[in-house]
Structures are given as C-alpha cells and as structure tokens.
Amino acid sequence: MKFHGTTILAVRHKGKAAVAGDGQVTLNNTVIKHKAKKVRRIYNDRIIVGFAGATADALNLSERLEKKLERYNGNLTRSAVELARDWRTDKYLRRLEAIMIAVDDKNMFLISGNGDVIEPDEGLMGVGSGGVGAQAAAKAMLRNTDMDAAEIVKEAMKIASSLCVFTNDTITIEEL
C-alpha cells in the first residue's frame, strides 16, 4: 500500500515517543493545503496516531480506534488487533484507503487494511510517500546523536521534506 502526499514518522528514544507528520495535502499534481494536521492525540491524550491516505478514511479509522480503546480500557495492542480484524473483514471498511501509526507509552504499531498490526524492531517507523527517507534519517540520528525523540523526528522530517515532493516542511509533532 503506497500513499502519496503524506509523511508520518514515529520514534521512541530515551524513554519518550514522538510522532510527526507533514502538513501538505495534494490533489493530483496540485498542493491544495499546507497546514493539515495528520498527527493527533486520542483516548485522553494517552495515544498518538498519525495517518496517511484519504483524509476522511483516516479520520474514520482514528475514531474507530478510539472506540476500541474505550472498549478495551486503553489497551493499544488489543485495540489495534481488533481494529485491523474489523478493517480486513468488514465490507465497508475494506474499501478505506489509509494506513495508521499508533503509539502509547509502551507500544508502537503500524495498522493497515491488510490486517497488519506491525511493531517495529528498533522503535522507529515511517509511512507515506516520504516515510522511507524520514525513517532512514531518523535511524542515522538515533545512532549518532544525543537528541531526544522530538528533535529527531523534527530533523528527519525536514530531510524528508527536502527529498519528497509530496512532503512539506510544515510539521506537526506530538510527544509522549
């Protein structure tokens, strides 16, 4: 699943987690918005989600994840698995075109409509058109810096925005 027009990066480092997203929204080859917020806090500000894909679909999935979190008392792992199961098996949800990263104080997951709930090995994950560039930059910084998670995602997103035409340098960062 590949999405143009978004870069989301999540990093866990030094006991903190940060999730960043760029603000650019494109329609075909035209930039139509520069300051979209693709990273949000949900479930009493205890979970951060970042999403790539169709905006309405991503917001729908974010709301559904929050309902699962309420049902399972904030258990992100269980909620992510249940959302992915519903997403894959429900006739309506299967058509949604989005991908999500969800982070709490202990976990980080990529959740997709293919039924994926993936936890990264190294505490970092990037999705969207500039996701690989942002993730590579963050990985290099994790090895060679004393920066904290928020500083790493900020700098890595700047690098991604300089490489990916579908990513801008208007960055939203949320930190736990």
Report the catalytic residues: 6
Task: Provide Rg for the chain, Cα atoms.
Answer: 15
How far is the C-alpha of 117 from the C-alpha of 136, rounded, in Å?
Answer: 21
- Report d(CA 55, CA 70) in Å as an integer: 23
- The bridge status of strand 108-112 relative to strand 98-103 is antiparallel
Q: Are 80 and 49 in contact (CB under 8 A)?
A: no
Burial-class residue 37 by CB neighbours within 10 Å (0-12, 13-18, 19+): exposed
